[in-house]
Each structure stands twice: as C-alpha cells, then as structure tokens.
Chain A
C-alpha cells in the first residue's frame, strides 16, 4: 500500500503537469481563434465575399443611329437563342432530336453542344442556336413539356433594317478581336460587339454606353444561388446623322448594278445628305461572322464592295478639273472672261501633240464656252500659261489633294502634284507637258468623289471653305445633344465675279443646247442644275489607234472603259445642294454619270418640296442656310 501511495503521488504530479500542458495547448487554440476571428476577421470577411459573390457585367443596349429627320437606320433587334441545361434533360441526344424537328441543327452544332456540355458543369446553359425566327421560338415554347432542359434566352443584336444601303456610312459591328481590348471590361464580355468600320467605329464609345452589373451569390461550383443586387447599365447615346434616309435609299437604288459612287452635300454647311458607294455589302452579315466563301466573294469582287469609293476611291478628275484651272487663271488675271483661244482639235508643244476630245476642233473658245463644251485645247493653253504651282494652289483651296476630315475612317487624300512632289516621289523635275495634261484633269492627279463634291459645293456657295460631315448630333441617354459642331466656314477669298462666271458656265453645260450634259437637264419647273462632265481615260490611246479612230467604250472590256464623272449643284440661282457622281468604267460623263446626278438631284429637290429637307428641321444645326 505504501508503494501504491508513492506512485499515486507521482501520478497526481504527472497528471497535473499533463493538465498544465493541455491547458497551454488549448489556450493556443483559443489564441489562434482570436487571431483568425478578431484580428484578421475583416480580411477573411472580404475573402468570403469574394468567394461567394460574382460580379456579372450586363451589356448596355447599343445606341441607335437615326437620320436627320429622326428616322431609324440602325437599332437593336431581339436575338432569340435556344439554350440547353444538361442536368435538366434526361437524354441530351433525344432532346436534340426533338429540337431538330422544329429547327435544323447541323451535325457540327450537335457535336459542339455535346462537347460544351461535357466541358462545363451540368447546370451551365449551353447555346444550341442563335437568331431564331419568331415562329421557331413560339413552337419551342408550345412544346416545352417535350423539351426538358431547353430554355429560350433573349439577347440583343445590331440590326440594320436597310442593310446594304447604309453599309459604307454606318460600317458594321463585329466581335472584339485580339489586340482590340482597351481595358473596358465590356470588351471582355463574350459576344460583345464593337464598331469595326464607318460611323459605328467613329462613334463606338458614344454608342457603346456603360455596362451595368449584377451581383450574384454563387456556390463553390459556380452555380448561381441568387441575385444580390442589380444595376442596369446606361444605354449608348443615339447618333443623329446628316443623312436623309429616304434620299439615301433612293440613291442606293439608283446605283444598283453599277460600280459607282454618289455624294450629295449641303453647300452651305457641308452636311452630307447621301453618301453611296456601289456595290455594297450587308452589314448584318458581319454581326455573326461571315463564312469563308462569303468573305472571299466580297474581297475578290473586282467592283470592290468593301471599299467606300466616296472617300477611298481615287480618280483623275478629268474635265471636272477645268473649273479649277479656269479659276486659277482668272484669279491671277492670266485670262479674262473674254480671253479667247482657237481650238483646231489639237495643240502642239515642242514635238508633242495634245488632242482635243473633239477631233476637228471647237473653233474660237472663251472661258465660258470652253467649260460648256469642255474644250480641251482651251485648257491646254490656259494651263500652259498658269503653271503647275498656281493650279495646285487653287485645287487645294477648293478641297482637292488633302483629307477633308470627314467623320469616317480610312479617307484618302488624293493627289495634287507640284514640282517638289514629283522630284520627291518620282525623282524627276516637272515637265511642261505634264502641266498641259493637268489642264484637263489628267496625269498626275487623283481626287476622291467626296473632294469633287466639296469642290462643286465651294464653287456653288460663293467660296466658303465648308467641310463635309455626317454627324449632326450625339444625343445622350438623357436626351441632351452633344455640343453642336462649328459650321462657320472660312472664306476662300476668291473673287465672287469669277465664281459667278464659273457657275454660269456650269449652268450652260446643263441648260444650254450646246452643253455637254444638256440631256441631263432637270425636268422640273423653275429649277435648274449646273454641272460639269468628266470622262477619264484609264488606258493609253496609241498613235495608231488615234489614226484609225479611237475605239468606242462599248467595244472595250469593262475594265478598260473610261470612268464617267459628273459634278453639279442646284438650284443655279440659289445654290443649295452639290453632288458628285463617279461611275467606274461607265463610259462618258455625259452619258453615264450626268443622268444619275439629274435623278438624284431631282429627288433631293423633290424632298425639299415635301418639307423633308427644309431648314425647319435643322435641329442643332447652325449656319447660314439662306446664303445666296
């Protein structure tokens, strides 16, 4: 017993030590809990919220694009999608089979759906097809009991109700490409689309709007448990254009089948009423991605539907350049309105011979009659006297040779030559013969149809340096328009008498029986149009051919025929609208281009008569509409 009491004492001592040890360790646990739950609690609360709360970006509706009268030319259409949730359907294959009786499902789509379902968690909806027709949606809704796990989801996609007619003005939207991410989280959204061309690109930020967000609680597998909060995004701003929707549609229709472009401008403020490049493409197709063959067909088309010919097509101006040469000479006093030259059908300079389009000559010509009949020899003579530098300076003042700064991407500058340019670009000094050729708008000179329209407008408006523009206003979601552009145009400082003479000559072109575009005179009471034809050779006419007779355009293959040009303004007495028409390989300006200008101008003036283009609906526009 004594022994036992010894070891009992030892036991008790050791148990006390063990108890002490246990207490220390349990205190350590308590301290650890205090550290985690009190000291570090805020940090872990944040982490717990990050765990369970997902922020989902909600794409805002893209802003609408409307015409000058408020009519819609681009909006958003409901895009119905069929989704399928694999955990809710007993057999994915069977359900797809039933679904395929309502709408076609390709083998590719079927394989993709099954693959996506295997890759994702079973509660993740997988897209089966997009862009359902309304009847298909209705049929799926009716057959819901037979389609377990099938959902209909409504999204929005860009819609261009007039497709091709506005493609070169609006451009198109397409999914964000790699390298286009700017840090805006909206661009990271799958399926988000941004403007890739045209005004959609220029105004992309304004049209895009701001994304909303939704906070959802998710579990560890990503399944959404509930929505905690939701903040809707702000729709993109609406963009109002200077374009007149119905005039644009008329013009596009008028150019159908041609490789051509038309620009209609307000001569006082540069507002573009119609801008059509033909052939065009359907921007709606770009929304969902073109197929390979579709893309190749667009790229390989010799009539270049993807090129906006109005701003990217560069053509020698041909005889439409004669106003520039005449003004350069008149302003410098090198010729007067009465100065005359004799046209024998050709002019000789050194041992080179320059031909007039009229083989046997026009006889004695002054400025007005030379423009009216488009006499080449008169302008050879004048150009020879004025010189390249003065012609070039006048061309630039009238808007040629530089980008005009229209609010579209990809504008070309054209080319107005000079001695310095030629030395730099070609490495040879300017030749006098080249000035002579330049006198009729051929040789080293390139202009865009937009520049030609601006040139006509600046002549028509009395020498004001108007700039072209397509955007009238950016109207925010709150309805407030953005700052109105400054439309006060500077004066070009050209003698009004000289401009009046040129306008008179251009009127003669259309309205005189001897004018080259007499057949395209307006058939409207009390309104006349003034214009100038241009026919631009795209091939070289050899001496042999000239001797035997120049081949007619109809006898040539399409790509060797002359370009047909026409610039015009109307009404003659009170100019308001300018137009340029370029028909690629159309033959002569008077036959191919002038009739189009007549028709489009007639429609423009008719719409003024209807009030669709009156000054009353000018909205934020400022500027002097009543200038004479």
Chain B
C-alpha cells in the first residue's frame, strides 16, 4: 500500500510542541469562524448586548479550545487503552442520575459532583464512540459478519440508551442510537442487519408509544399537525416557521428580527437560535452556516478515512456522525421537519454542556488526524512496549 511511505516518525512518541505543529489549523479556523457566527447571534439574542450570553459563550469556547488541543495531543493509544474504563464511568454516572439526579425541564438529566454539575448523557455520546471503536478495532472483519459478535456492542449501546430514555430524553437517545449505528455501519456490519433492526424498530413503535410521557406524545402529535393547537404545544414550531419564512432571502437584518426580539420565538438563544439567524440573515445566512458545517464534516470524514488504524477511523466516523446528528436534528426540528426534541445547534447555541461535548469530540477527531500514521495492531491491548511495526 502506498501508505508505507509515510514517515515512520509519525507516532505517539513526539513532543507536544511538534504535535501541535501537526494540528490541522485550517480546521481550527473553520471551527472558530462557525463559533464566531454563534457569538454574533447571541449578541443579537440579547438585544445587542454581549451579556448575558455572548461573553460567556466566548469564554467557554476559549476553554473548550484549550481542552480540544489538549485532547488532540494525548497519544491516541491512551484513549484506546482507557476506552472501556471511560465507558464504564459514563454508564455509572448515567445510573447515578437515575438515583440522585436533578430534575430540570421535566426530566432528570443533571448530576451534581460537588465541583461541577455534569450531564452524563452528554459524556456518554463521547465514551460510547470510544468504546465501540475499541471493540470493532479488536474484531476481525470475518467476526463482524457473525451475528454473535454483535451482541456485546449492541448491549454497549442499548444500556446507556435505555437509561437516557428513562430520564426521559428522546433527542439524546436518538443520537446515541443513530451515532452508534453509523459506527456499526462503518465497521462493516452487513446491510441486511440494519434492515432487520429498522423493521423491528417500526414494529415496536406502537409499543414504544405507550411508554412515552404525555409531553412527548404531545410533541409528536403537534409535529404531525402543529396548527391543531397554535397557542399550546404547536406554538413553538409555528412561530419558528413564521420567523424563518418571514426572513426571506436576505433576512430582516442583524438585530432586526421581529419574531425573535418581540419574544414570539421561544428559546432563541439555545435550541431555536438557527431560526433567529435565518430570520435576521435570511436564506443566505442560513446557507453560509450550512456550508461551514459541510466543510467541518468534510474535514472530519477526510481525517477518518485518512487514518491508518481502525480505532482512529471508527472514532472519526462516530464523532462525525454525532456532529452531523446535532446539526441535522436541530435544523430539521426548527424547520418543522421532525418533532421538537431538545438538541442544540453545534457551536452556535448557548450552553456549556454541548459545547464541552463537541470540543472533546473535535479534540478526538484532531487526535485521530495527528496520530493517523501510528500503527496499532488489531490485538493490541494496551501494553506500551510493542508498537507493532
């Protein structure tokens, strides 16, 4: 293979400084530009003020950037070695939420660790990717084709998904399952198996419906017919569509969004910030943001495909899928294509938790890129000695 010619020095033994030089800086600039649009929208959401949102978001982004670079330069084998341990911690935190979590917005999502409050479901989005990547890294292609080898990773997905569903958080559950599905798919699981799962899922829908909370049922019913209850549950989506549509091609102008600034638009600094952007900056502004997202996705996929070890490729695929799901679910939700589920717009929406998840994810993605030429044998189990070259 042509990759044999790549410099042998590419590996985990370099200094941090040299690794930083190998960071793909154009990618960092694209991320920063996207976040910059977010700062502008938060400035507008506050009626032309840096406080209370934009300034804090900038601080968070700066912190997230540092964290991202830190994660990026850690030897990738560290993440491989501790993938299962991190997964177990994440699962334990999720279980702890069941017992001692804080209730917010009608669902148990937060856990207070004394110093910080964390949202274990967000942590799980990352550690599940790591754990699955490690599992499939160690599994031969023939074994992937055998159904019995899929039992363990399925349990690894369904256990946290079940816990998150109980909180209840439909959006995160969906993201965990779909993101994991992308890893399964990239790992080479046979197509027909996805067909079976899909068929089973559809068959289970009527049963699943029974377990939904009233507000979740309402959201789905509202999605199916938002004009049914324009002042109740349908309000958000109707107002969002009015804001989007009234923005037109060029928008009403920065700080000029009537729907947003007159409070018709709910949650405009978080889940519905895309609506505000599209209202003020129009279709043009919305497409510019979409293009930036596509650029990020292309970078992410190139990083993944260009990695010489399966662990890195699968981590990249998982992070890419998670990022895509954030973007797609949020925009599809505010444009009325899918029911309202609380998923923020990556790098734009105000909020620390999603920012943290994303920056860690981007850190791992860059880590994969930096360590793309490290050789990790399939049966490598974490012994530092013996990089199999």
Contacts and interface: CB of A to CB of B under 8 A. Distances in A.
Contacts of A44: 241-246
Nearest to B297: A22
B371 to A, nearest CB: 15
19 contacts: A3-B140, A4-B378, A6-B141, A7-B144, A7-B310, A8-B308, A22-B297, A26-B328, A28-B332, A36-B245, A41-B248, A43-B245, A44-B241, A44-B245, A47-B245, A48-B245, A51-B258, A51-B262, A220-B263
Interface string B297-311: 100010011001110
B186 A14 contact: yes
B335 A36 contact: yes
Contacts of A17: 185
A37 B310 contact: no
Contacts of B239: 51
Contacts of B297: 19, 22
A154 interface: no
Interface residues of B, number: 53
Contacts of B337: 28-29, 32
A294 B295 CA distance: 81
Contact of B262 (A7, A36, A220): A220
A5 to B, nearest CB: 6
Contacts of A51: 239, 242, 258-259, 262, 264
A34 B283 contact: yes
B185 A225 contact: no
B262 A52 contact: yes
Interface string B336-350: 110000000000000
Contacts of B335: 29, 32-33, 36
A30 interface: yes
Interface of B: 1, 140-141, 144, 182, 185-188, 239, 241-249, 258-259, 262-264, 278, 282-283, 286-287, 290, 293-294, 297, 301, 304-305, 308-310, 313-314, 317, 320-321, 324, 327-328, 331-332, 335-337, 378
Contact of B328 (A3, A25, A49, A220): A25
B188 A22 contact: no
Interface string A1-19: 0011111101110110111
Nearest to A51: B264
Task: Output the residue of A3, A8, A22, A51 with the most chain B CB within 10 A.
Answer: A22
A47 B239 CA distance: 9
A22 B144 CA distance: 24
B245 A8 contact: no
Nearest to B323: A22
B241 A10 contact: no
A217 B293 CA distance: 36
A7 B304 CA distance: 13
A52 B262 CA distance: 7
Interface residues of A, number: 43
A69 to B, nearest CB: 55
A15 B248 contact: no
B264 A220 contact: yes
Contacts of A34: 283
Nearest to A17: B185
Contacts, number: 140
A41 B246 contact: yes
B321 to A, nearest CB: 7
A21 to B, nearest CB: 9
A414 B327 CA distance: 86
A3 B188 CA distance: 13
A40 interface: yes
A34 B278 CA distance: 11
B317 A219 contact: no
A4 B310 contact: yes
A45 interface: yes
A69 B283 CA distance: 68
Contacts of A22: 297, 324, 328
A43 B241 CA distance: 11
Contacts of B185: 14, 17-18
Nearest to B257: A48
Contacts of A4: 309-310, 378
A11 B243 contact: no
Given A26-B293, A51-B239, 17 more contacts: A8-B313, A14-B185, A15-B304, A17-B185, A26-B328, A29-B335, A33-B287, A34-B283, A36-B244, A38-B249, A43-B245, A44-B241, A48-B243, A48-B259, A49-B246, A218-B262, A219-B263
Interface in A189-228: 217-221, 225
A26 B329 CA distance: 10
Interface in A253-275: none
A48 B258 contact: yes
A51 B309 CA distance: 56
A11 B378 contact: no
Given A45-B245, A219-B264, A8 B188 contact: no
A43 B290 CA distance: 24
Nearest to B243: A48
Contacts of B327: 26
Nearest to A6: B141
A12 B302 CA distance: 10
A11 B305 contact: yes
A7 B141 contact: yes
A220 B290 CA distance: 29
A540 B376 CA distance: 131
Contacts of A30: 287, 290
Contact of A15 (B249, B263, B301, B336): B301
B244 A37 contact: yes
A23 to B, nearest CB: 8
Contacts of B188: 7, 10-11, 14
A530 B335 CA distance: 90
A37 B290 contact: no
Given A25-B328, A34-B283, A8 B262 contact: no
Given A36-B245, A37-B248, A15 B186 contact: yes
A14 B144 CA distance: 14
Contact of A225 (B244, B262, B293, B304): B262
B262 A219 contact: yes
A220 B248 CA distance: 21
A71 B188 CA distance: 99
Task: Output the residue of B141, B185, B186, B321 with the most chain A CB within 10 A.
Answer: B186
Contacts of A18: 182, 185-186, 301, 317, 320-321
Contacts of A221: 263
Interface string A580-622: 0000000000000000000000000000000000000000000
B286 A37 contact: yes
A38 B246 CA distance: 9
B141 A26 contact: no
A19 B245 contact: no
A48 B259 CA distance: 7
Contacts of B331: 29
Contacts of A36: 241, 244-245, 335
Nearest to A44: B245
A43 to B, nearest CB: 7
A52 B265 CA distance: 12
A220 B242 CA distance: 13
Q: List the 7 closest pairs (A to B, CB-CB), nearest first.
A: A44-B245, A48-B246, A219-B262, A220-B263, A37-B283, A45-B246, A220-B264
A45 to B, nearest CB: 4
Contact of B278 (A19, A25, A33): A33
Contact of A19 (B290, B301, B308): B301
B249 A37 contact: yes
A217 B248 contact: no
A12 B293 CA distance: 21
Contact of A47 (B242, B290, B305): B242
B246 A217 contact: no
